[in-house]
Amino acid sequence: MDQQRRRIDRILDPAYVADLGARSVDDLRTMRDECVNVETEVSYVRRLAQARLDIIAAEMERRSSGGSLGSLIDALPRILADGGQRGQRGAPANSHMPQQLAPAMDIEWTRGLEPLVTDATLANLPALSDDELRETTERLRTLESDVSATRRSLHRVMDAIEHELATRLRVGPS
């Protein structure tokens, strides 16, 4: 049954970081690498959700201002580059630099609202009603919020492992 358990659930279980001091440096590095892989997947889904939110917000603004679909398409590089409606990114001191920018190609996110980041919503954007856009926005906000909370929890686990590794490397082998 434990093999059927999701990696993220296993990593976020308090037992995962219990008694880190008794683990070998190699075990700690393996745990860190596993966390990095999962964090990459979680961050990827989060970035996709945020980008979709930004594009949908720009579409809603385009509709309210009477702009053309071409103006939205022309604005996509700016929308995706500057954080769109979300504004500035978090302070660098409060963020983690990703060690990998994208997950493995075999990533499968089918556990909840994640299909929102892989569906045809953006391809069908001009055909969606305002109500459908608002509903999709709310669902994407829920997804982004849930994934962000999971990511913060994952970072706490990663920080505990990194702290133990740093302590060991500073003190020397046990």
The pLDDT of residue 100: 54
Tell me, what's the pLDDT at 81? 86
Interhelix angle for 25-65 vs 69-81, to 10°? 150
> By percentage, how much of the chain surpasses pLDDT 90?
55
| Whole-number Cα distances in Å, 162 to 15, 29, 54 | 16, 9, 34
Average pLDDT over residues 63-77: 92
pLDDT tens digits along 130-158: 999 999 999 999 989 999 999 999 999 99
- Looking at residue 124, what is its pLDDT? 86
Q: What is the CA radius of gyration of the chain?
A: 20
pLDDT in the model for residue 169: 82
The pLDDT score that the predictor gives to residue 123 is 84
93-105, pLDDT tens digit by residue?
445 545 555 555 4
Q: DSSP class of residue 95? A: S
Q: Could you tell me the residue ranges of all domains in the chain?
A: 7-86+109-171
Average pLDDT over residues 9-24: 95
116: Cβ contacts below 8 Å, ≥ 6 apart:
49, 52, 136, 139, 140, 143
